[in-house]
Structure 1
Amino acid sequence: MLILVLNAGSSSLKYQLINVQTAEVKASGLCERIGIDGVMKHEIAEHRKLQIDHPMPTHKEAIEFMLDILTHDDTQVIANIDEIAAVGHRVVHGGEYFNKSILINANVVKKIEELVPLAPLHNPAHILGIKICQELLPGKPNVAVFDTAFHQTMPEENYLYAVPHEDYTEHHLRKYGFHGTSHYYVSDQAIQMLDKKESKVIVCHLGNGSSICAVKDGKSIDTTMGLTPLEGLVMGTRSGDIDAGVIPYLMDKKGMDSNQMINYLNKKSGILGVSGISSDLREVIKAAKDGDHRSKICIEMMCNRIKKYICSYIGILGGVDAICFTAGIGENADLIREKSCANLEFLGIELDKKKNKKRESGNREINKDNSPVKIYVIPTNEEYVIAQDTYNLVKG
């Protein structure tokens, strides 16, 4: 069964065509600059890579062009679109409505629309992708897979904020958490590697957006992102945790309104803001090696925040069996893994520096042989989780 996985952004569209039974990615790609001039980067399973300039005034043209590329004689991976059994959509915010993936109907779309105020940059684009697929692929099932769903198992004391309770009951003010499909996939892989159903796992999803999740017996019990993806770690352009008093202070000093303040914290802070060089950690690490002081401090701040949450989640879990690193930074930046685990030997976390520096594909163990706590590098696969959930719901 072939599942088309879509992640519609405000001006972009990521996609994969996946054979769920074999886990083969038949094709994948990214449509960028939708509404401007349009660029598609497309890869076929045989490692044929294409970059195509094509007008994409709206998401509809982007999806039409993607379907054409999948079936075109020169780039064909399927004979016709009837071979697509269903479409799985990544949806960032499911609020408290959705604690698992769901077949999409009019009521589901309505609920996702109601949650737009909680994810104004994401949910509108997801809704657009869903409606276009319903139009272009009539009769094909569509499934919504939510970033927030995995975290709906958090206990009340971990998801509530210490504010008047009516702001939760009336305005849905609470921690929701994100990167749920990644945290689910990586923790599930770790549980299999541990061969332990009763387990305590900490997953560090480190990329341009980053979050950490405490997973007990396969269920999320706490995570670093909150009402929005702004809370928690130091990220590419996001500040992460910050004293709320900073907001009115800076608004007064810099004459900013609330929208400018949110833009400041979401797009001008984090690694970019501290280093002053780039939001790309690779460039910051290079600058630090060349002696740039702000880049060095940026790396230390980032790793200290990761370490702080690892230690706090060990306390919440009552111990830990495995710490997992995943996503772009987590999978590739050995320096960040090393610094994040440094001086935690007293907790049984003993990193093997030689194993850590090795470049290998697939799941791997980077702890010392006698380390009480396992340390894993596990490549995430959010698209496969979406495809698998879609397949299971359609098959059912």
Structure 2
Amino acid sequence: MSTHLCSPQHVLVLNCGSSSLKFAILDATTSDEVISGLAERLGSDTPSIKYKYNGEKQLIELAKGQAHDAAIAELVKLVNELGLADNLIAVGHRVVHGGEHFTESVLIDDNVLTAIEKTAALAPLHNPANLLGIRTAQQAFSTLPQIAVFDTAFHQTMPNIAYLYALPYSLYKEHGVRRYGFHGTSHYYVAGEAAKLLGKEREQTNVISAHLGNGCSVCAIKDGKSVDTSMGLTPLEGLVMGTRSGSIDPGLFTFLTQQLNYSVQEIDDLLNKQSGLLGISELSNDCRTIEEAAVEGHPQANLALDIFCYRLAKQIAAFLVPVQRLDALIFTGGIGENSDIIRDKVITQLGFLGLECDEAANLAARFGKEGLISKGQAHAKAFVIPTNEEWVIANDAARIAKEG
């Protein structure tokens, strides 16, 4: 019998995407992962669930066209068959957009669901899927408290000079048009880990965190609180990403519609699905593929990496303004944790901060390994810190469940 079953602190963490469902059960007291998996291609011809339990990987094939409700039903069955249900104390849900309603994680009730629905217009690809996951889980785990953990909540400490756009103020007051930021759970987690590595309290630590994956964002964290971030009203603003353009001249919209006859939907697809690393390289949105091509001399692959790193370094430098004193630069996320090439390029461009990349340490900090990757006498240090959003969600869910 698994030793995990001795703990009464298990939390089921659900992260619902438009066609996927990521899940895990964690011990909220130790962060130990009991089971984890991904239901993908939901609603397609070949939906399936892949999961890992006791070190073994398994695959469950779902029937053609089955979606989130079927995936969660299969997950419930699996949890019961493995004897994990009795130790669950809560279900924690990742919710992408909390608007201004939520500054922290909350116990889900009808009012919370209504507020999440109201912010769906700000995250049309994410919040409806998050709501679907919540409602399905409420039926499947009706006796368990359900907790919402918001990507945007950590950034609610940003001052108005950071979150307001220079648009008519009525757009903010009447429609909530402002910068919200995302990846908040990840930025919060790695900032806390950096404080430990620096031997400081979170509240005494100033860091800049770069979460780099298919989606990318930078966060300026002063005295442990988010004071600025690169993403805005939506996750499209800011850095170059896998398929997203990041910040562009808004005048491009007029050019594309009037000169090239693009529709609004075509522009949305262009900026969100056809741009970024994929658009520049014309190869892939996968950083590994682009790095391999760049090593072989592919000119657009090299250009894609150079633009990605330049924009990232420029954003990090800009965030010296809100933090004033920099204790640490953090790389996290799939690219941030695994691409020694990108980390080296970025740190080299930030040499004026006194940062210098330690080549051996940078190469060693891969595949989930935490480590210091800078050398020299500079006050600021550069770290690779693997993120653990599931642990934050589980911890918050357990705390709120105990509070009742």
Relative to the length of structure 2, the TM-score reads 0.94
Map of 1:21 onto structure 2: 29
**Residue 38 of structure 1 corresponds to which residue in structure 2?**
47
- 1:111-122 correspondence runs (5 A): 111-122=115-126
Q: Residue 12 in 1 paired to residue 20 in 2?
A: yes
Tell me if the contact between 2:10 and 2:28 (Cα under 8 Å) persists in the aligned partners: yes
Question: Is 1:272 paired with 2:292?
Answer: no
Deviation at 1:16, TM superposition (A): 0.2
> Aligned partners of 1:371 and 1:354: how far apart in 2?
18
Match of 2:6 in 1: none
Q: How does 1:204-283 map to 2 (within 5 A)?
A: 204-283=210-289
Q: 2-side partners of 1:164 and 1:54: how far apart?
A: 49
1:370 aligns with one of 358, 371, 377: 377
How far off is 1:305 after superposition?
0.5
Match among 271, 291, 294 for residue 288 of structure 1: 294
1:71 is aligned to 2:80: yes
User: 1:358 is matched with which residue?
Assistant: 364
Q: Residue 14 of structure 2 contacts residue 93 of structure 2 at CA under 8 Å; is this kept in 1?
A: yes
- What secondary structure is seen at the aligned counterpart in 2 of 1:127? helix
CA RMSD of aligned residues (A): 1.2
Residue 174 (str. 1) matches residue 161 (str. 2)? no
After superposition, residues 187-198 of structure 1 pair within 5 angstroms as 187-197=191-201, 198=204
SS of equivalent residue, structure 1 residue 71: helix
Deviation, 1:318, is 1.0
Q: Is the 8 A contact 1:148 1:178 kept in 2?
A: yes
Q: How many residues align?
A: 390
1:92-113 per-residue CA deviation (whole Å, 9 max, x = no partner) reads 0000000000000000000000
Equivalent in the alignment of 1:165: 169
Is the counterpart of residue 382 in structure 1 residue 392 in structure 2? Answer: no
User: How far, CA to CA, are the matches of 1:38 and 1:85 in structure 2?
Assistant: 29
Secondary structure of the residue aligned to 1:57 is coil
- 1:350/1:373 contact within 8 Å kept: no
Question: Residues 137-190 of structure 1, C-alpha deviation per residue, up to 9 Å, x if partnerless?
Answer: 112100000000000000000000011111110111100000000000001111
The amino acid of 2:240's aligned partner reads V
> Aligned partners of 1:234, 1:6: CA distance in 2, in Å?
28
Structure 2 residue aligned with 1:131: 135
Distance of 1:359 and 1:344 partners within structure 2: 19
Task: Encode CA deviations 1:178-212: one digit per residue, 9 max, x unaligned.
Answer: 00000000011111111223221000000000000
Aligned mates of 1:162, 1:320 — CA distance in 2: 28
| Structure 1 range deviating more: 49-58 or 155-164 | 49-58
Q: Is the 8 A contact 2:42 2:66 kept in 1?
A: yes
CA distance in 2, matches of 1:33, 1:368: 44
Tell me the SS of whatever aligns to 1:203.
strand
Q: Work out whether 1:348 is the aligned partner of 2:354.
A: yes
Aligned-residue offset at 1:54:
1.7
Query: Gaps (5+ residues) in structure 2?
Result: 1-8
Q: Deviations over 1:69-92 (max 9, x none)?
A: 2232xxx252xx333211000000
Q: How far 1:51 moved relative to its partner?
A: 1.7
How far 1:359 moved relative to its partner? 4.1
Which segment is superposed worse, 358-367 or 109-118?
358-367
Unaligned runs of 5+ in 1: none
2:15·2:93 contact (CA, 8 Å) conserved in 1?
yes
Alignment of 1:90-105 (within 5 A): 90-105=94-109
Runs of 4+ aligned structure 1 residues displaced above 3 Å come to: 359-362
Whether contact under 8 Å (1:26, 1:77) holds in the other structure is no
